[in-house]
Amino acid sequence: MLETYLEMLEEGYYEVKFAFEGLADEKVWQRPAEGLLSIGEMAGHMAYWEAVKFAGEGGSPPDLARCRVKSLLIDRRFSYYTTNLETLPSAEHHAMTSAQVCSELVRVHNESMAYFKSLNPDLDSCPPGWPPNHTYRAFLTYAVFHAAYHTGQMYSARHLLGDETTDN
């Protein structure tokens, strides 16, 4: 069953690469409109949650120091939409190109999944530090949706920024 979830999640990350294809560096951190996040911020959000759920120690808020995957994209400001709106990405984030953001997002995903697979957890068990209803199965089920949802948002942001994207 684990392999089925992971295959579905891999499909989402196969597609996310296309959302960055042809994206100009100056647009990766540009918000398309007031109240909307940039593509870089969405990538940070995806990276943050995959790392803390599949390679972290849990807790509320998650202890980023104990997360086994490290990245500039694993930043508390990317944890939630309202936090993101209030706290703009840093100059270090803005220095990342479109290709670097995409590559870093995929690297975080791959490393988080490698760590997760090495655990070989019972899917109905709860990761340490998370509430009882937060099972590995629930995390995986939601992760598939989460990757697809935010990839779609990236395409919408690109369209709002005036980009012509690959056929999606």
- Per-residue pLDDT tens, the chain, 168 aa: give them: 889 999 999 999 999 999 999 999 999 999 999 999 999 999 999 999 999 999 988 777 888 988 999 999 999 999 999 998 999 999 999 999 999 999 999 999 999 999 999 999 999 998 878 888 889 999 999 999 999 999 999 999 999 999 988 776
- Listed as own residue / partner, the contacts of 14-19 with beta carbons closer than 8 Å and 24 or more positions apart are 15/147, 15/148, 15/151, 15/168, 16/46, 16/102, 16/105, 16/106, 16/147, 16/150, 16/151, 16/154, 17/102, 17/106, 18/165, 18/166, 18/168, 19/151, 19/154, 19/155, 19/158, 19/165, 19/168
Give the predicted TM-score (pTM) of the model.
0.95
